[in-house]
Structure 1
């Protein structure tokens, strides 16, 4: 609500300045409604124009006083040349400022016209397709853009952290894999060795039984 009131106040100021007969007056036209930023920029430009005009008036009064004082001196022409050169320097600076704000104003008007053309083209497409003309897309405020960018950065940071954690876990598993394989081979070798020892004992027992005439014991189970 506060932003709406502020926008309405700025719009009223722009309209008042537009109808005040300024040299480069800016007002609402068929080029489309200005944005809040454009209205604020226009108000600032009108303030600058008023300040330039005040400086010009003061400069003109001061120049006349200085020229009158020159006529009381011996070197009148040299004095007048100095006064006029100083006034010309200030006038040049003020004119440069004025041209800059005029250029900015033309850019704003061009942007408004482009928006109006795009809106009319879109409305024509909607009408041809039998659709209801769309309402202008609300402009995203600077604070909203900043919040969206902050959220995007946070999501990217979380994704990077997750990716680094996953890579570390994979590296840890890869580093531990050779150790597990070595343990498995060692257990297999131990089992094979134990089985071979049992078979050797069984053969020795059969040999001893055959030598003593005893019936040999039953065979050993097949090792896993």
Structure 2
């Protein structure tokens, strides 16, 4: 699936995060990430609507199951691509916030020492531990949510495949009597044509010969 311009900028920022360039990574705001999530959601709705149209069109074709199988493959490819984009956004946001936290800690460490420097250091370490626990909890929740979404998507896909197969079988059963009736009509028409040709040939054979000319006196 071709990436549009906003997503290209997002991926560029993600690469900056991956290289550890914290200052540049901060240029991607939560609002921008939320806007990308909204775009992905809108794109998913378009894909779902297209898939519904393709499924409806498949039932008008002779090779119903092949058509449905190809439509499901395109749906999986497109939704997998959107899911990868969402994962990138989650990683970018997490890494950006981690970079911001690291900068705050570095700024604190670079501040001039004071009589209570040991207390500030202890507070910073406690804050770092809390932030790390919060980040770990966020990753755990995001992982569980992604796993649940994947399980739900897999279940819905299996349900849809079973429904499509049942509909295809039912359609073939409905078409079988019509096909047999067309075959019978074709056989009857062919028999009628053969009988008509035989009748015409018989009439030609029974036709009387032309009389001989009268003798000249």
TM-score range, shorter chain: 0.3 to 0.5
Structure of higher CA gyration radius = 1
Give the TM-score of the pair, scaled to structure 1: 0.37
TM-score of the superposition, structure 2-length normalised? 0.38
More RCO (CA 8 Å, sep 6+): 2
Higher relative helix content: 2
